[in-house]
Structures are given as structure tokens and as C-alpha cells.
Amino acid sequence: MNMNQQMQKQITLKQRPVGMPKMDDFDFIDTPIGTTSAGEVLIRTAYISVDPYLRGRMQDTKSYIAPFELNKVITSGVIGQVVDSKSESFSKGDVVLGNLGWQEYSVVNEKEIKKIDKNLAPVTANLSIIGMTGLTAYFGLLDIAKPKSGETVVVSGAAGAVGSTVGQIAKIKGTRVIGIAGTDEKCQYLLNELGFDEAINYKKEDVPTALAKACPEGIDIYFDNVGGTISDAVFPLLNKFARIPVCGAISSYNDVEVDMGPRVQTALIKTSALMKGFTLGDYSDRIGEGYSALATWLNEGKLKYEETIVEGFDHVIDAFLDLFKGANLGKQLVKVSDID
Amino acid sequence: MNMNQQMQKQITLKQRPVGMPKMDDFDFIDTPIGTTSAGEVLIRTAYISVDPYLRGRMQDTKSYIAPFELNKVITSGVIGQVVDSKSESFSKGDVVLGNLGWQEYSVVNEKEIKKIDKNLAPVTANLSIIGMTGLTAYFGLLDIAKPKSGETVVVSGAAGAVGSTVGQIAKIKGTRVIGIAGTDEKCQYLLNELGFDEAINYKKEDVPTALAKACPEGIDIYFDNVGGTISDAVFPLLNKFARIPVCGAISSYNDVEVDMGPRVQTALIKTSALMKGFTLGDYSDRIGEGYSALATWLNEGKLKYEETIVEGFDHVIDAFLDLFKGANLGKQLVKVSDID
């Protein structure tokens, strides 16, 4: 197959967003697919993961991961299928996972991708429950918060891909779990499908009041996906030796002004509480452990997951922007092509 | 000796302070010294420790330690001398340490006090460098922050009893130490006496600018004694896997309004940083370890300490209020009587 002459669509960062990103911040450009050299593989993009943390990479600020460059392709978790291989490790038809470009095809070195076992779970699960978001939930909750049976766990962004997994693992560990989400439908999903003990609709309820009512014995663990006023409401309810894995702060990602709130120092001192930021990259040497545990729970029926799948490469940006509207239940993905 | 008829002075909490405490919030009352029963000891107060954390106990809020009760004697670390003993463990003349009342004499159970070795160090060191503040520095820095040679350590409240010990232990561990204090005299003390690498006078310098200049390789550890805008300036300079023991927030202890500042979640995520509140009580089972280490360093000449000693029981409240004016260098104490 000679696809090097063929053109494909690619999404680049045209300008750094100010506030909420908009379609104009991105370019859809036509670019050659390219050719494979020794050790390389040509992949047809099947599913693209869109994630809140990508908003941070669109800023030109120091962070745990380099910012996206202007006029370069945006990258994220991608599942694709090998259509041509000059690698001994991959064959045509293999389904693979990698951090790849937002484009219809990618030519990549064999070291940048790993093969997916199609028989273990639906392939998309490798971008969600047994992939980045599931692993993020696993390590943040178990390594930082270390839940003990009988403790009270509060999760914000609870109907999202990370939050819904956190709550279920917390239930597996014998805790009492309170989820905070933004629609009644999401709250019902948490209660009826995932077995959460309580769910708070932060758009309808007064969060400090609802949290105090839902946590009569205080809060031992707060898994923070959102930051902002929802997190502010947690601090006065912390128990002695509380733990707060700080995973995301989606409420502030599009802020233009400095994100101001009550300072947390006094609450931390009063309770000897721990707050720790983290990203999945901190656990790169333990991915195998997390993957095994999640796959086992999934196959035992102890973990459920949802995906919100938008169809068509033209809708990648729409799907990304939907994250900030809270439109997604579970993992937000874009389907670009079928897997054979 | 029959002192039960004799009267003594005692300081009680008359009303809960609003904002900065004032003399009117306290009462100096006359009360009988009382009598010793079996297992009890009569102690003449020699030195009273006044500490910022006591401000928190004057509020009626849930914390790691119960609030002071109105019209009851205030308590803190006290060194005294046994003047009468009905305990087999203590003899007249013994110098003892305990959490005792702000009064001239105390009748206490033998279990509430421990004997001080007068030969190891000046007795007041048991309220400072080898006592509560030294131990607080020891556990917060070594157990939470775990300094590694070559790292950059920033300490706020650096000329205070805790901060000055933190900086010296950090130097023993081979780190680069930057202290933040409120007078040029204190800064000179940190640089010339304690061996700090840099000192910033937060009342004269722009802290964000001065910190960035003093920490060209970023900040690995921030030992937080003060909270507020000084701490705000640290977060943008944190390195990956930074650690922040949160020991005190003196800048906010007298606040009437909610203490507002930039939320820290995003900075913690970007750097996978850890923030942990603590109090010495969290380490009650390791006091012996800390005491031994501090006493060894002290006797080896590796630790220096200062005390600001105010004379006279009538000045206990003045000495306490001085803490919030930053008047003290090192440990603030009140001398009530001589030790024979």
C-alpha cells in the first residue's frame, strides 16, 4: 500500500485559547499521510480520547507535560488499527494504543504503541476503564488516599470517567461513597447503576448543606476532580488524617482571572490532612499492576463503565468542548473509523 | 508546707477574642493554690511557653485539640519546680515539664508531668529546641518533607522557634535553605548565625520576586509556618514532587473574614506536590526519637537556638500578643520564677 501521497485531515492548535476554547482556536488542515520506514507502523485512527487535562497543554505554562506547540498536531490517547507495518512486532490488522495525533492516520515508531488484546474487553475500554482514566482512579485512590473499610469517601466529577471508577473502587474497598455530579440523570446513574451511597446534584443543591447531611461522620477521603467551590465545601468537613488526591480542577481550567477561594492551610492543620496532586505519569512503573487489577474487577463484574462516543473526525473539537459543559457520562471518546 | 490556703494569680479566658486578642479577653484572678493528694505534686511555675497555636484554642471551633473553656485557666507548655510531692516519682526540687495552667502554682497528678534533666541543656531548651517547637520542626521536616541533599528548602516564619530549627536541620541534611522573616535583624541572624543560604525580609521585599531570585532551581520543600500571601508566592515555584509540611498559618489566626487566596489545586496537580497539615501530637509515639536526635545535634554544636524571655507573670498576655507582631526571635517564653 502506498499511502504517502494520499492526504488526510489533521487538527492543529492555531492559537492558545483564552478562557473557554472555541472552534477558531483550532485548524483542520490537509496533510500527507507519510511513509513508513524500518521499525515504523502506519495506523488508521479508530478512537480518539478527549480529556480535560488537554486544556492545560494548550497553555504556554510550565507543567508536568510540555505545552502543545502552535500549528502542530494535537495529541492524546488514540486507538487505531495497523494498516501497514515495517515492524517485526506489529502486523496488519493489529489494534494498538498510543499517544498519537488528532489525525486520520499516523506513522509511528513501534516503540510508541502497544498492542491491545481484543478479547479481554471492548477495545475502547483501553481508553477508559482499563486505560488512562481507570488507572488514574486506581492509583490516586489506592496509592494516595489508601481507603479503609468504613471510611467516608467523597468524589467530585463523580459521573465522569475517573470519578465513576474511583467511586466503584472505593465501594470494593468497603467505604461509604458520596458522589457529586451535575444532573439528576447522572446522580441516578451513580446510585442505581454504580452503587454509590449518596449523590449530590451540585447544580440544584446547596453543596455545603448537602455534603454535611450526606456525611454525618465527616469526610475521610475527598477525591478531587473539579476544584473550585465544590472542593471548598469539603474542607470544613474533613476528619482527622483525611486524604485528598488532587486529580483535576476542571472548574478552573478555562479561568482567565486567578482562581480565588478560601485558603486551605488552617483546615489542613486542624485535621493533619494530606492533599496531593498527581498524574498517571507518576505511576509509569506500576501500570501493569493497575491494569491487572482493573481488568480482573471488570471481568468479575465489579466495575461498570460508560462511554459517551461522538462519531466522526469532524466532531473531535465538539467532543472536547462538551467536557466543559458536563455533557459526558463516563469516558468521552470520538469514533473516527471502524475496526475491522 | 501548707499552701492550700495561700492565694495565687491565674489567667482565664474571659471571652473569645474577635480578631487580634486584647488584654480584655483575659482575666487575672486570685485563686487558692490547693492541696496535694496521693500521687500529686505541687509545682511552682518557672517558665510559661506562649505559642501561636494557642490562638486557635481560644475559638470555639472543631480542631485537633479542644477549645479553651470560658472562665477556665489557659494551659500551655510549662516548666516548674516541685515544691511539695505526694508522688513516689518526684521529689522536692525536681524540675518538671507539663501542659499546665497559666498560674503561679499547679497541683497535678504525677502522670501529667515529666522530669527534666538539668545537665543535658538549659532547662528552657525543653520548651524550645529539644521541646515542643524543636520536635515540631523535626517531624514536620523529616517525616513529611523528607529532604534530600541538594534540594531547595524554603521556610517561612524562619526566625521563629520552629522555623529556625527547620532551617538548621535542613542544612544538616545537605539542602539549600532560604528563610523568610520580617526584619533585617532576623534575616542577618538566619544568614550569619544559623547558616541559611538566603534570607528574605517579607516586609521590605516583593516576596514573589525575591523568592524567584533566591530559588533559581525552583522549590522542593516549603515548610509553611505562616500561610497567607507569603505562601501564595511559593506555589508557582514548586518543583515536581515538591513537599509542603503545613505547620502554622499565623497570618490568618486573627482573621475575622474568611482567609481568601489563590486556590492551590492546579499548582499541586502540575507538580504532583504534596501538602500535609500536622501537629506534634501526630508523633506522640516517636517523641523519644526526636528528642534524642535534637539533643545530640545540640550537644554537637550543630543546632543553635534563641529565646525571647519576658519576665513576670503579669506579662504573659503581652508576650502572647507579641507573637502576632513578630516581636520574638526564636522561642517566646515568660519567666515567672527562678529555679533553685
Residues of chain B numbered 214-243 and touching chain A (CB < 8 Å) = 224, 227-228, 231, 240
CB pairs under 8 A between A and B: 123
- Shortest alpha-carbon distance between residue B323 and chain A (Å): 18
Kindly state whether B146 is in contact with chain A, defined as any CB-CB distance less than 8 angstroms: no
End-to-end CA distance of chain A: 17
Band (pLDDT 50/70/90 cuts) for residue B151 is: very high
Band (pLDDT 50/70/90 cuts) for residue A61 is: confident
Q: Do A247 and A147 share a structural domain?
A: yes
Q: What residues contact residue B309 under an 8 Å CB cut-off, 6+ apart?
A: B47, B124, B333, B334, B335
Kindly state whether B140 is in contact with chain A, defined as any CB-CB distance less than 8 angstroms: no
Q: Are B272 and A261 an interchain contact pair (Cβ–Cβ within 8 Å)?
A: no
Strand A238-246 relative to strand A274-277, pairing: parallel
Q: Closest chain B residue to A268 measured between Cα atoms?
A: B277
Contacts B263 to A, Cβ<8 Å: 227-228, 231, 249, 252, 259-261
Average pLDDT over residues A43-49: 98
- Whether residue B257 contacts residue A253, with contact meaning beta carbons closer than 8 Å, is answered with no
CA B166 to CA B137: how far, in whole Å? Answer: 5
Q: Do A207 and A102 share a structural domain?
A: no
Q: Are A265 and B224 an interchain contact pair (Cβ–Cβ within 8 Å)?
A: yes
Q: Do B140 and B22 share a structural domain?
A: no
Kindly state whether B212 is in contact with chain A, defined as any CB-CB distance less than 8 angstroms: no
Of A216, A97, A200, nearest in space to A157 by CA: A200
Kindly state whether B112 is in contact with chain A, defined as any CB-CB distance less than 8 angstroms: no
Q: Do B164 and B261 share a structural domain?
A: yes
Residues of chain B numbered 56-95 and touching chain A (CB < 8 Å) = 56, 61-64
Q: What residues contact residue A240 under an 8 Å CB cut-off, 6+ apart?
A: A271, A272, B64
Band (pLDDT 50/70/90 cuts) for residue A255 is: confident
Contacts B271 to A, Cβ<8 Å: 64, 277
Contacts B56 to A, Cβ<8 Å: 266, 270
The predicted pLDDT at position A4 comes to: 58
Q: What residues contact residue A179 under an 8 Å CB cut-off, 6+ apart?
A: A154, A155, A158, A159, A163, A167, A187, A190, A194, A196, A198, A199, A200
CATH of the domain at A315: 3.90.180.10
Q: Do B196 and B111 share a structural domain?
A: no
Q: Do B254 and B161 share a structural domain?
A: yes
Q: Give strand ranges (E) for B93-148.
A: 95-101, 105-109, 113-115
Calculate helix-pair angle for A132-139, A287-299, nearest 10 degrees: 100
Question: Which letter does DSSP use for residue A109 in this model?
Answer: E
SS3 B119: coil
Average pLDDT over residues B283-292: 96
Q: Do B28 and B65 share a structural domain?
A: yes
pLDDT in tens, A152-211: 999 999 999 999 999 999 999 999 999 999 999 999 999 999 999 999 999 999 999 999
Q: Do B154 and B123 share a structural domain?
A: no
Q: Do B139 and B117 share a structural domain?
A: no
* Domain assignment present for B288: no
Q: Are A277 and B263 an interchain contact pair (Cβ–Cβ within 8 Å)?
A: no
Nearest to B265 among A246, A266, A282 (CB): A246
Q: Are B63 and A270 an interchain contact pair (Cβ–Cβ within 8 Å)?
A: yes
CATH of the domain at B230: 3.40.50.720
Note the ipTM here: 0.94
Q: Which domain covers residue B36, as residue numbers?
A: 7-127+306-335
Nearest to A261 among B227, B246, B263 (CB): B263
* Domain assignment present for A149: yes
Q: Are B227 and A266 an interchain contact pair (Cβ–Cβ within 8 Å)?
A: yes
Contacts A61 to B, Cβ<8 Å: 270
The predicted pLDDT at position A120 comes to: 86
Q: H or E stretch including A211?
A: helix A207-214
* Domain assignment present for A290: no
- Whether residue A19 contacts residue A29, with contact meaning beta carbons closer than 8 Å, is answered with no
Nearest to A240 among B64, B228, B276 (CB): B64
Q: Residue type at B111? A: K
Nearest to A265 among B249, B272, B273 (CB): B249
Contacts A62 to B, Cβ<8 Å: 270
pLDDT in tens, A264-309: 999 999 999 999 999 999 999 999 999 999 999 999 999 999 999 9
Q: What is the CA radius of gyration of chain A?
A: 21
* Domain assignment present for A123: yes
* Domain assignment present for B296: no
Kindly state whether A292 is in contact with chain B, defined as any CB-CB distance less than 8 angstroms: no
CA B293 to CA B135: how far, in whole Å? Answer: 9
Question: Which letter does DSSP use for residue B33 in this model?
Answer: -
Strand order in the sheet with A176-181: A198-201, A176-181, A152-156, A219-223, A238-246, A274-277, B274-277, B238-246, B219-223, B152-156, B176-181, B198-201
* Domain assignment present for A294: no
Q: Closest chain A residue to B237 measured between Cα atoms?
A: A62
Q: Over pLDDT 90: what percentage of chain B?
A: 91
pLDDT in tens, B3-27: 557 999 999 999 999 999 999 999 9
**Cell matching residue A149:** 473499610
- Whether residue A181 contacts residue A158, with contact meaning beta carbons closer than 8 Å, is answered with yes
Q: Are B266 and A276 an interchain contact pair (Cβ–Cβ within 8 Å)?
A: no
User: Burial of B46 by CB count in 10 Å (0-12 exposed, 13-18 middle, 19+ buried)?
Assistant: buried
pLDDT in tens, B214-230: 999 999 999 999 999 99
Query: Per-residue pLDDT for A1 more than 60?
Result: no
Q: Are B265 and A231 an interchain contact pair (Cβ–Cβ within 8 Å)?
A: yes
Band (pLDDT 50/70/90 cuts) for residue B326 is: confident
Q: Do B196 and B82 share a structural domain?
A: no
Q: How far is CA B36 from CA A237, B90, B110, B336, B337, in A?
A: 42, 13, 11, 21, 21
Q: Closest chain B residue to A275 measured between Cα atoms?
A: B275
- Shortest alpha-carbon distance between residue B246 and chain A (Å): 6
**Cell matching residue B193:** 548565625
Contacts A252 to B, Cβ<8 Å: 263, 265-266
Q: Are A271 and B277 an interchain contact pair (Cβ–Cβ within 8 Å)?
A: yes
Q: What is the CA radius of gyration of chain B?
A: 21
* Domain assignment present for B316: yes
Q: Are A269 and B275 an interchain contact pair (Cβ–Cβ within 8 Å)?
A: no
Number of domains in chain A: 2
Q: Do A244 and A175 share a structural domain?
A: yes
The predicted pLDDT at position A3 comes to: 54
Q: Do A185 and A214 share a structural domain?
A: yes
**Cell matching residue A93:** 490488522
* Domain assignment present for A60: yes
Residues of chain A numbered 149-178 and touching chain B (CB < 8 Å) = none
Kindly state whether B265 is in contact with chain A, defined as any CB-CB distance less than 8 angstroms: yes
**Maximum distance among all Cα pairs of chain B, rounded to whole angstroms:** 66
SS3 B287: helix
pLDDT in tens, A201-242: 999 999 999 999 999 999 999 999 999 999 999 999 999 999
